Chain A
Amino acid sequence: MQGRNCTTGKSSTAFKQELLKNLLRGLRARTDACAFSAMSVHERKRAVKSSADVAMAAARGVGARWPKAILAAAAASTSSNRSSCQVRSSRFRRVARRCFFREKRRGPAAGVAAASSVDVARRLVRRRTMALRKVIPGGDAAMDEASLLREAMDYVVHLRAQVDVLRRVSEAMQIRSSLLRYAPSSIHGQEASSSMRQ
Chain B
Amino acid sequence: MSSRRSRGGVSEEEINELISRLQTLLPSARRRGASQASTTKLLKETCSYIKSLHREVDDLSDRLSDLMASMDQNSPGAEIIRSLLR
Interface size class of A (residues with CB under 8 A): 35 or more
- Contact across chains for A159 and B50 when beta carbons are under 8 A apart: yes
The interface size of chain B toward A, counting residues with CB under 8 Å, comes to 48
Query: Does A31 touch B at the CB level, under 8 Å?
Result: yes
Q: How far is A177 from B62 in the complex, measured between Cα atoms in Å?
A: 16
Q: How far is A3 from B43 in the complex, measured between Cα atoms in Å?
A: 20
- Contact across chains for B64 and A192 when beta carbons are under 8 A apart: no
Shortest CB-to-CB span from A182 to chain B, Å, is: 15
Say whether chain B's binding surface is mostly helix, strand, loop, or mixed.
helix
**Would you list which residues of chain A between 24 and 73 have a CB under 8 Å from chain B?**
24, 27-28, 31, 35-37, 41, 44-45, 47-49, 52-53
Query: Does A141 touch B at the CB level, under 8 Å?
Result: no
Shortest CB-to-CB span from A171 to chain B, Å, is: 10
In the complex, besides A156-B53, A173-B68, A177-B71, 11 extra interface pairs with C-beta distance below 8 angstroms are A27-B68, A44-B65, A45-B61, A122-B7, A160-B53, A162-B57, A163-B57, A166-B61, A166-B64, A176-B80, A189-B84
Which residues on A are within 8 Å of B, measured CB to CB? 1, 3, 6, 17, 20-21, 24, 27-28, 31, 35-37, 41, 44-45, 47-49, 52-53, 110, 112-113, 117-118, 121-122, 125, 128-129, 131-132, 134-136, 144-146, 149-150, 152-153, 155-157, 159-160, 162-163, 166-167, 169-170, 172-174, 176-177, 188-189, 192-193, 196
